[in-house]
């Protein structure tokens, strides 16, 4: 099994005719993802990928015509909030926003609206989702992992790829990989994803990749201690980050001495989580 996406997912791409949208949509299509539609206002009636995927003017029309139940957003940052709101208004149950640089003020408005809907949002500023052998929804390379029993959830796209590749090199596969993104205001968080993995009968253990800034890892540690029955291995990026420096994502900001790697590692360790000190170490800590 998997969480969030599988071979039955019907995917539409907002911004499919742009340079990035078209490139990554083709990668998804080639992987075997069930891409059923694209959305670009003003280009409704066009077809792409040799006439295999229709383009519509709106998400609502695309959903009604194709039964799409996942939307992936590849639009510039200034349009991303409207794209997320449009997908939610069309009642697409899973929205994945790859776009980076979405203003925090815009995301506050998006979250306020989406919290009233029965909608999962992954991102923004994230690599998306990958269920090996079934569906690639976003930009995670499909050739760096294989089907397996390890759920992966991460705030960092690049570290996600590094960990998946190290797992593959040790013949370890994943059930689903979820890149939640590193912006201060975003959708799915660690706890949401851990809860889904805990309920998935085909996920036997979980890898969690965090970073400095905020307190999501500490909240996840408390959830793990209270509710997780499956073993968790974690890596927290930023142990050597210089004091006073902003590192990586917009969410990787340490305020008033809070959100340090040391705090996060301590909270997770107390909750029974195994801690890796570099990404390649994770594979050796997983149960074979």
- Catalytic center residues: 249
CA dihedral 149, 190, 5, 129 (to 10 degrees): -90
What order do you get walking across the sheet with 70-73 strand by strand?
Answer: 47-48, 53-56, 35-39, 11-14, 70-73, 94-97, 120-122
Return d(Cα 33, Cα 19) in angstroms, integer.
19
Taking CA atoms, 35 is separated from 16, 99, 185, 213, in Å, by 11, 19, 28, 36
**Considering all CA atoms of the chain, what is the largest pairwise distance in Å, rounded to the nearest integer?**
57
Rounded (5°) CA angle 155-234-102: 5
Q: Which helix (H) or strand (E) holds 70?
A: strand 70-73
């Amino acid at each position: 099994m998997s969480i969030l996406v599988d071979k039955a997912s019907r995917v539409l791409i907002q911004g499919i005719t742009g340079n990035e949208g078209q490139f990554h949509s083709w990668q998804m299509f080639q992987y075997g993802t069930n891409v059923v539609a694209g959305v670009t206002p003003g280009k409704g009636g066009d077809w792409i990928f040799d006439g295999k995927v229709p383009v519509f003017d709106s998400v609502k029309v695309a959903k009604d015509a194709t039964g799409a139940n996942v939307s992936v957003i590849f639009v510039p940052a200034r349009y991303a909030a409207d794209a997320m709101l449009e997908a939610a208004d069309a009642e697409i149950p899973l929205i994945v926003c790859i776009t980076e640089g979405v203003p925090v003020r815009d995301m506050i408005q998006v979250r306020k609206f989406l919290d009233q809907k029965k909608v999962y949002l992954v991102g923004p500023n994230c690599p998306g989702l990958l269920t090996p052998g079934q569906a690639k929804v976003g930009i995670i390379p499909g050739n760096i992992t294989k089907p397996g029993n390890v759920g992966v959830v991460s705030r960092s796209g690049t570290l996600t790829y590094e960990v998946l590749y190290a797992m593959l090199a040790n013949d370890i596969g994943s059930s689903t990989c979820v890149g939640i993104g590193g912006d201060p205001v975003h959708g799915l968080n660690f706890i949401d994803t851990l809860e889904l993995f805990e309920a998935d009968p085909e996920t036997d253990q979980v890898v969690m990749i965090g970073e400095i800034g905020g307190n999501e890892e500490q909240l996840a540690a408390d959830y793990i201690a209270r509710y997780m029955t499956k073993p968790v291995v974690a890596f927290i990026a930023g142990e050597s980050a210089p004091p006073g420096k902003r590192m990586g994502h917009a969410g990787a900001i340490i305020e008033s001495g809070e959100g340090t790697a040391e705090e996060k590692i301590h909270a997770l360790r107390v909750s029974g989580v195994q801690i890796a000190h570099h990404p390649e170490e994770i594979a050796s800590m997983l149960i074979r």
